């Protein structure tokens, strides 16, 4: 009897997981109808009782809904899903210089709410893989923070994730979606603050350095905000994040760079560190400004705009908490201001 009961539970869980997977893989689109109970029973070799039990539970979860006279269909991704806060997954670029400070602050928030953070490094573009999210679903994890290292362009997947009951918050990357909140540094304020400082210090010839292979919203936001600021002459340069940054900066600065500019504006702290090392090596005198205050631990002369890490982490937590607790929810983007360090 006990073995039979376990077999029923296994079939029941397998059926639910299969429907989750079919939704994430696009077999069943939002609003589309599932096969009949008879067809599902044949496919999964399950009794009608097991099929009905699984479908009933998925309806309770707002994954499915019944339409009288038509059948059972996949819901739309606008439902509110109230999950427990036992576990929260964070998919993040663990090599990022300020990852540890963010993770520590966010972990404190989750721990105070009685939860546990499960860290998953962002490897091999798994952020866009339905299989990755199925792994989390099977472990009962439905609260997820996404910190993309290389952007996120599969917006259709977000609705599917929402349908199967996953609450999502993007950090450090903004997407135009009704199915996830976004929390980011206020890049417009950061650029205005740094450009105002440059103007007050009367620097006249500025070189701006950005990424050419990092498709994050912050990359574009920072560049566009800089271009709009017209109080000094400027030139634009790009480097690759996937190549040796130190060598790229040494080559760039060696090309008579110091004679053409009096300030280097780095869109990222990694660039600023490599630029400062290259200048030391070549005995070049050039003021550096950047976003990311951690650089001042190594090069105090760099003027930097800092991430308010604790505020960012708290807002990410608040977004997840609201998605789990409010009767109604609408996605929003939150831009958090930092401050100048000089």
Q: Domain spans of the chain?
A: 2-74, 87-183+310-336, 187-306
Cβ atoms of residues 308 and 276 within 8 Å: no
Is 26 a residue whose pLDDT tops 90?
yes
Q: Is the pLDDT reported for residue 231 higher than 70? A: yes
> What confidence category does residue 46 fall into, taking pLDDT thresholds of 50, 70 and 90?
confident
* pLDDT tops 70 at residue 30: yes
Higher pLDDT, residue 255 or 133 = 133
pLDDT at 3 over 70: no
What is the three-class DSSP state of 208? Answer: strand
Q: Which pLDDT band holds residue 96 (cuts at 50, 70, 90)? A: confident
Q: What is the DSSP letter of 176?
A: -
Indicate left, alpha or beta for 156 from its phi (over 0: left) and psi (-120 to 50: alpha). alpha
Q: For the segment 51-79, what is each residue's pLDDT rounded down to a tens digit?
A: 999 999 999 988 999 988 899 999 987 77
Average pLDDT of span 178-204: 96
- What number is the average pLDDT over the span 297-313? 97
So what's the pLDDT on residue 151? 85
Which stretch of 183-187, 224-228, 252-256 has the lowest confidence by average pLDDT? Answer: 252-256
CA distance 172 to 146: 9
Polymer length of the chain: 342
Measured in degrees and rounded to the nearest 5, phi and psi for residue 67 equal: -115, 115
- 66, containing H or E segment: strand 64-67
Confidence of residue 8 (pLDDT cuts 50, 70, 90): low
Determine if residue 62 is left, alpha or beta; phi over 0 gives left, psi from -120 to 50 gives alpha, anything else beta: left
Higher pLDDT, 29 or 229: 29
The reported pLDDT for the residue numbered 230 is 72
What whole-number distance in Å separates Cα of residue 2 and Cα of residue 301? 70
d(CA 98, CA 88): 20
Report the alpha-carbon distance of residue 113 to residue 109 in Å, rounded: 7
Residues in Cβ contact with 268 at an 8 Å cutoff, skipping those fewer than 6 apart: 210, 211, 290, 291, 292
Structure-block tokens of residue 318: 């608040």
CA dihedral (263, 269, 275, 281) positive or negative: positive
**Residue 2, pLDDT score:** 44
Q: Superfamily for 187-306?
A: Response regulator (3.40.50.2300)
- Give the integer Cα–Cα distance in Å for 134 and 234: 48
The reply to whether domains 2-74 and 187-306 share a CATH topology is no
Per-residue pLDDT band at 259 (split at 50, 70, 90): confident
| Average pLDDT for 17-22 | 93
Q: Are 272 and 299 in contact (CB under 8 A)?
A: yes
Q: Among the residues of 151-268, which ranges form H helices?
A: 155-163, 187-200, 217-228, 245-254, 257-260
CATH architecture assigned to 2-74 = Orthogonal Bundle (1.10)
Note the pLDDT tens digit of each residue in 109-147: 999 999 999 998 877 677 889 999 999 999 999 999 999
- CATH for the stretch 87-183+310-336: 3.40.50.2300
pLDDT for position 124: 64
**Can you give the pLDDT at residue 14?**
85
Percent of the chain whose pLDDT exceeds 90: 69
Identify which of 277, 302, 298 has the alpha carbon closest to the alpha carbon of residue 287: 302
Check if the beta carbon of residue 180 is closer than 8 Å to that of residue 77: no
């Amino acid at each position: 009897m006990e073995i039979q009961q376990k077999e029923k539970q296994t079939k029941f869980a397998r059926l639910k997981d299969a429907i989750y997977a079919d939704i994430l893989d696009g077999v069943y689109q939002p609003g589309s109808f599932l096969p009949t109970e008879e067809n599902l029973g044949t496919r999964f070799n399950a009794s009608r009782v097991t099929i009905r039990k699984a479908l009933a539970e998925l309806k309770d979860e707002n994954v499915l809904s019944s339409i009288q006279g038509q059948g059972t269909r996949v819901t739309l991704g606008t439902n509110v899903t109230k999950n427990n806060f036992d576990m929260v997954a964070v998919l993040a670029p663990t090599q990022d210089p300020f990852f540890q400070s963010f993770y520590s602050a966010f972990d404190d928030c989750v721990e105070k709410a009685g939860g546990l953070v499960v860290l998953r490094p962002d490897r091999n573009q798994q952020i866009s893989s339905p299989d990755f999210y199925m792994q989390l679903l099977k472990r009962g994890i439905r609260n997820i923070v996404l910190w993309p290292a290389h952007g996120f362009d599969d917006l259709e997947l977000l609705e599917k994730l929402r349908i199967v009951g996953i609450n999502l918050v993007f950090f450090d990357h903004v997407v135009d979606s009704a199915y996830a909140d976004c929390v980011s540094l206020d890049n417009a304020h950061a650029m205005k603050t740094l450009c105002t400082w440059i103007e007050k210090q009367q620097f006249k010839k500025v070189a701006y350095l950005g990424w050419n292979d990092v498709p994050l919203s912050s990359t574009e936001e920072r560049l566009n905000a800089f271009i709009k600021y017209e109080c000094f002459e400027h030139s634009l340069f790009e480097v690759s994040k996937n190549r040796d940054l130190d060598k790229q900066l040494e080559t760039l600065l060696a090309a008579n760079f110091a004679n053409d500019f009096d300030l280097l504006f780095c869109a990222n702290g990694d660039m600023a560190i490599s630029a400062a090392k290259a200048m030391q090596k070549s005995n070049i005198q050039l003021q550096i400004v950047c976003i990311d205050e951690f650089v001042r631990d190594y090069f105090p002369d760099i003027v930097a705009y800092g991430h308010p890490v604790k505020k960012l982490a708290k807002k990410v937590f608040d977004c997840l908490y609201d998605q789990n607790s409010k009767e109604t929810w609408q996605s929003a983007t939150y831009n958090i201001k930092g401050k100048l360090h000089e």
